[in-house]
A and B are shown apart, each in its own frame.
Chain A
Amino acid sequence: MTSNKKLTAPLSGDVSRRGFLGGTAALGITAASTSALMGRKAYAAKKGGHLRAGIGHGSTTDSLDPATWENGFSLSMDYTLFNHLGEVDHTGGVKPELAESWEASPDAKTWSFKLRKGVEFHNGKSLEAEDVIASIQYHMGEDTKSPAKSLLKQVTSIKADGKHEVVIELESGNADFPYVISDYHIAIKPSKDGKIDPTEGIGTGGYVLENYEPGVRFMANKNKNYFKSDRGHFDQVEMITIIDLAARQNALTTGEIDMMDRADLKTVHLLKRKPGINVMETVGYKHYTFPMRTDTAPFDNNELRLALKYALDRDELVKKILRGHGVVGNDHPISPTNQYHADGLAQRSYDPDKAKFHFKKAGMDGTVIQLSAADAAFPGAVDAAVLYKEHAAKAGINIEVVREPNDGYWSNVWMKKGWGACYWGGRPTEDWMFTTAYAAGADWNDTFWKHDRFNELLLAARAELDSDKRRTMYYEMQEIVSNEGGVVVPMFANYVFAASDKILPSEQMAGNWELDGAKFAERWSFA
C-alpha cells in the first residue's frame, strides 16, 4: 500500500488518508460503478440550474441548531450552508477547508490551524479566529446538548493566535484530530460577542439560505462570494423531505425531483432499467450490528458471544437484507474502506458445529436467548433477527426474537436490553470509531465492554505518528474485538442512491456519507 508513506510525511496540511488508492479493491467499487454509469463523457461541470433533491429524512422537529443534527436531511443542509475546518474527500482523507493548513506538535498534543483569509460569511462578516472558537465552544462545556461534546472532551484549551490562527491543546496526543474537528456538528458560524447564534442559517457555504420549513423543504441560492471557485455550480438548491419510499421513487421517475437518496433495495434493479435514471452506489463506513451487554449475564461469557458469532450466516444476510448491496462484516467495526482495515484477519463464517461447541462450553444448553429488534435500528432489522434465529437453530441455539416498537427504540431498547440490533454510520478513522463505541467508559460503548489490552493499544495508537506501528496496533485491536468483543457485525451496507441523467455527479464520490459525503450541493452539477 502506497498510503503509508504518504501519511508519515506530512502531519501538517493535507493528511491524505489513503492517498491515491484509486485502484485498490475498497475504492475500486465506487469508482468503477460511477464511471460505468457516467458513460465516460468528458467531465465538465455546467453552471446554473435549479436542483431538486428528494431526501428520505427530515422531520418537522428538525432545526438549524448544529447540536440537533442527526439525520440525512440536516447533514446535507449542513454541507450546503456551512463549512468546517476540514473536509473528507473521495479518498477518505481530510483536506483543509476553512483552514488553509494545520500543523501538529511532535507529540500530536498541540494543533494549530491557519485559517483561510478573505472568506466571508453570508452576512458579509469576514471569517476570523473568534468565529471558529465560538463555533467549537458551542459544543463544549456543562450546558451543551451537542453529541459532539464527547468528541471535544479531549480539548483542554482553544486560543486565537492573531486573527487567522487557532491553537488547540489536547489532553493527550491525537494524530487524527483534523478528522475530529471536521465532524459535521462543528459547523463554523459567525460569532457575536463570543457566542454563535445556533438557530441562524448564516455560514460560509456555497449557498445562502432562502427558506427552511423543517420536515418539508429547504431552499438556498448560490453564494456568489463562495471561496471555492470550482464548487457550488447550481443557481438554486431545493431539498424536499419525501419519507415515503414509493413517493420518492415515483417523484424521481416522473421528473418531479432530479435526485434522491436511499433507493429501495427491493426494487432498485427495476429502477436501474428505467431510461434516464442513474443508480449510484458507494461503499462507506455504515454497518449494522447486534451489540450484547458484556456487563450482564449471560453475555458476560465470551464463549456464548463466540457461539453467537459463529451461529450467523452473514452471506445470507447480505443477500437477503441488503440484496447484495454490501459486504460481510467480521465482528469489528472497521470497514474495508478504512485505511487500517485488517485484511489478513480470517473472515468468520457460518459454522454451526463451532457454535454448538462454544455454546456447550458456555454451559448454556437449552437456554433461550432474547434478541431485541425493530426496523428503527436499521431497515430489515427484524427480518435479519428472524434469519439469525433460523441459522442459530441449526446449531441448537434457541433465539427468541423480541419485536420492539420503532418509537423510542434508542432510548428504551438500545443500551438497555441485553442484546439488540443497532447501526453505526461509521467513522472515517479507526481511532474515532473505537473511541466512540468500544473504549471503556465511552458514552456510546453499547456493549459495555472493557478490555485492558485494547484500551492500552487505543491510547498508544492515537498518539503514534508512525504509520506502520499504528497499522500493527490497529490490526491487533480488530482481532481482539472480533474474538473477544461483545458485538456481532454481520455486514457493511453500501449507500445506494439515484439521480436523473441530467445530473453530473462528481467523478469520484466520497463514501463517508450518502450522496457524495452529503456534499452533492457543492460537488455536483447539471450535465
Chain B
Amino acid sequence: MAQIMKMVAQRFALGFLTLFVVSLIIFLGIELLPGDIAEEILGQGATPETVAAFRRELGLDVPAHIRYVEWLWNMLQGDMGRSLANKREISELIGLRFGNTLFLAVTAAAISVPLALTLGVLAALYRYSFYDRAVNVVTLSSISFPEFFVAYILIFFLAVTYPVFPSIANISDATPFWDKVYKVLLPALTLTLVVVAHMMRMTRAAIINLLASPYIEMANLKGLSRARIIVKHALPNALAPIINVVVINLAYLIVGVVVVEVVFVYPGLGQLMVDSVSKRDLPVVQASAMIFAGTYVLLNLLADILSILTNPRLLHPR
C-alpha cells in the first residue's frame, strides 16, 4: 500500500507540472492568435478608439508576461478570475457547464460501459461465431462515422420520423432529474455508439489473449463451462487493460464531445471553450483547459491505481 501511496504522490506532483505546462502553452497559443478580445467582440463595429478603450477597461494594455504571472498567482490561490467578455465569475460560469458535461458523460458511461463489457465478454465467449462478427461490424461502423453524422441519423429516426426523443437537449438547472435524463438520452446514445467499439474490442482481445494461458487450459481440463472460465478465470486477469481503455473513453466523454454538444444544443463545457477561444477570452479558456487537463491527469491516475489493485504484479515492472 505504501508503494501505491508513493506512486500517487509522484503522479500528483507530475500532474501539477503538466497543468503548469499546459497553462503556459495555452496562454502562448492564445497570444499568438491574431486579434484580441476587444477586436473580436466589437467585430465589424471596431474602431481604433473603441478597441483602445475596451483594452484599457479589461487591463489588456499590460504586457503579456505580467498578465500570465498575475493569472497564475490568482489561480494558485483558487481564484479563477472573471470572464473578460461579460465579467461573470468563471467559477460560476464553468461550474454550471461542467456539471452539464459531467451529467452527459455519466449518462453515456452508464449506458456504454456495461454494454461494451457485456458485448465484449460475449464476443470472446462466442468468438468467430456469427454474433462475434456481427457485433464487430456494427460497432466498428458506428465508430467510423463522424459523430455529427451518427447524431443526425439518430435525430432523423428517433426524433423526426418516430418522435420518441426531443431533437435538442434543452436543459437548465430547473429541469427535474428524470426529465433531464430523458432529454440527454439521444446525445448519450450518440456518444455510446462512438465509444462502444473501442471498449468492446479491447475486452474481447484481452480475454482471448489469456485463453491460451496454461491456467485456462487447466480450467478446461477440469471440465468447467466456457462461460465460467471466461467470467471467473479470464476476466479478472484481463481487467487491467480493460480498465485503461474504459478510463480513456471516460476522459473522452468529458473532454471530446463538443460536436455532439453543438448538434444537440447542449450547454456543456466544450461549447464554452470554443466560444471563448474564438473571442480570445483568455481566463475562461485557461480555466476550461485546466479542467480538461486535470480530468485527464486524474482519470489516468485512477486507471493506473485500479490496474495495480487488480494486478499487483504491475507494481514491479521488469
Contact = CB atoms under 8 A, between A and B. Distances in A.
A61 B50 contact: no
B87 interface: yes
A199 B87 contact: yes
Interface stretch (A43-51, A172-180, A235-243, A519-527): A235-243
B256 interface: no
A250 to B, nearest CB: 4
Given A143-B53, A250-B168, A408 B35 contact: yes
Contacts of A457: none
B167 interface: yes
A61 B276 contact: yes
Interface string B147-168: 0000010010001100100111
B47 A246 contact: no
Contact of B57 (A70, A145, A242, A246): A145
Contacts of A216: 267
Interface stretch (B66-74, B258-266, B293-301): B258-266
B271 A60 contact: yes
B170 interface: yes
B59 interface: no
A411 B170 CA distance: 34
B46 A411 contact: yes
Contacts of B40: 408, 410-411
Interface string B122-159: 00000000000000000000000000000010010001
Interface of A: 59-65, 68, 70, 142-147, 149-150, 199, 213-217, 240-244, 246-247, 250-251, 253-254, 256-257, 407-408, 410-412, 414, 422, 443-444
Contacts of A411: 34-35, 39-40, 46
Given A70-B44, A250-B160, 20 more contacts: A59-B279, A63-B85, A65-B86, A68-B85, A70-B41, A145-B50, A147-B46, A149-B47, A150-B47, A215-B275, A216-B267, A217-B172, A240-B168, A243-B262, A246-B152, A247-B167, A250-B167, A254-B163, A408-B39, A411-B39
Nearest to A144: B53
A61 B39 CA distance: 13
A411 B172 CA distance: 35
B10 to A, nearest CB: 37
Contacts of B265: 240-242, 244, 247, 251
A244 B169 CA distance: 13
Interface string B94-109: 0010000000000000
Contact of B46 (A213, A240, A251, A410): A410
A145 B38 contact: yes
Given A242-B168, A242-B265, A213 B96 contact: yes
A244 B35 CA distance: 25
A70 B43 contact: yes
Interface centre among A68, A142, A256, A411, by most chain B C-beta atoms within 10 angstroms, is A411
B272 interface: yes
B167 A60 contact: no
Given A70-B43, A143-B53, A149-B50, A199 B86 contact: yes
Nearest to A139: B50
Interface of B: 33-35, 37-47, 49-51, 53-54, 56-57, 83, 85-88, 93, 96, 152, 155, 159-160, 163, 166-168, 170, 172, 262-265, 267, 271-272, 275-276, 278-279, 281, 284
Nearest to A240: B170
5 contacts: A143-B57, A217-B170, A254-B166, A407-B33, A443-B47
A142 B168 contact: no
Contacts of B96: 213
B167 A146 contact: no
Nearest to A143: B53
Contact of B83 (A61, A247, A253, A256): A61
Contacts of A444: 44-45, 47
Contacts of B159: 250, 254
Nearest to B48: A443
Contacts of B267: 213, 215-217
A169 B191 CA distance: 61
A143 B275 CA distance: 26
B44 A410 contact: yes
Contacts of B275: 59-61, 215
A144 B50 contact: yes
A412 B33 CA distance: 11
B155 to A, nearest CB: 6
Contacts of B166: 254, 256
A327 B40 CA distance: 31
Contacts of A244: 262-263, 265
B34 A61 contact: no
Contacts of B39: 408, 410-411
Contacts of B85: 60-63, 68, 214
Given A244-B262, A251-B265, A60 B276 contact: yes
Given A60-B272, A411-B35, A149 B49 contact: yes
A254 B53 contact: no
Contacts of A253: 160
A436 to B, nearest CB: 10
A247 B263 contact: yes
B38 to A, nearest CB: 7
B267 to A, nearest CB: 4
A145 B58 CA distance: 11
Contact of B50 (A147, A199, A246, A412): A147
B179 to A, nearest CB: 14
Given A60-B271, A244-B265, A411-B34, A147 B42 contact: yes
Residue of A60, A63, A414 contacting most chain B CB atoms (<10 Å) = A60
